[in-house]
């Protein structure tokens, strides 16, 4: 909290007047970013014609990277969630929400481009949504840690994912 107070330029009273603790601050921040991201990505996932999966993921990653990949903060939150039983459910819920967005997009994509009935498309989408989420997590980890990470190369490589 001391780092957050120093970085914000606000007094401790101003911070604690709005947030009970660090987890509360993280929760509000993560949900703010997630809400903006979901509002932005939902129309893309249901566009007509629908984007190909690699195009959808590239758009998602470009947007999320602008918003939350700063100084590895996201990775710090993930790492802390491993050992903090109060933070873990919040991070798990956020990842589950993003995975649900991917599943919804994939269901729509399978029905539109592959002609699958909704039930079959949904079943297939539920299998691949965690893979898309993992691909995004890999991108975020590498872009935060690897100094010469090739963003455009990674995004171009997304077209190799076969669904």
pLDDT digits 0-9 by tens, 6-28: 767 878 787 778 877 777 877 77
Largest CA distance in the chain: 57
Statement: the pTM of the whole predicted model exceeds 0.95: no
The full set of domains in the chain, from first to last, is 21-160 (1.10.357)
Q: Are 22 and 1 in contact (CB under 8 A)?
A: yes
Does residue 66 have a pLDDT over 60? yes
Structure tokens at 119: 């039930």
| Three-state SS at 104 | helix
Average pLDDT for the chain: 85
Alpha-carbon separation of residue 57 from 4, 25, 45, 52, 103 (angstroms): 31, 28, 10, 9, 12
Does residue 157 have a pLDDT over 70? yes
Helix spans in the chain (H): 2-8, 12-18, 22-45, 53-68, 73-83, 88-114, 118-145, 151-157
For residue 158, the model assigns a pLDDT of 95
What are 36-63's pLDDT values in tens digits? Answer: 777 777 777 677 788 999 999 998 888 8
């Amino acid at each position: 909290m001391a780092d957050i107070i120093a970085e914000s330029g606000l007094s401790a009273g101003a911070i604690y007047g709005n947030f009970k603790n660090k987890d509360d601050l993280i929760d509000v921040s993560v949900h703010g970013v997630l809400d903006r991201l979901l509002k932005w990505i939902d129309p893309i996932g249901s566009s007509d014609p629908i984007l190909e999966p690699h195009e959808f993921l590239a758009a998602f990653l470009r947007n999320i990277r602008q918003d939350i990949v700063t100084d590895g903060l996201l990775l710090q939150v993930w790492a802390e969630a491993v050992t903090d039983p109060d933070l873990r459910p919040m991070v798990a819920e956020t990842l589950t929400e993003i995975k649900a967005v991917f599943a919804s997009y994939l269901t729509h994509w399978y029905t539109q481009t592959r002609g699958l009935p909704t039930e079959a498309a949904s079943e297939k989408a539920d299998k691949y949504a965690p893979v898309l989420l993992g691909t995004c997590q890999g991108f975020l980890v590498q872009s935060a840690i690897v100094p010469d990470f090739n963003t455009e190369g990674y995004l171009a490589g997304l077209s190799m994912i076969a669904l």
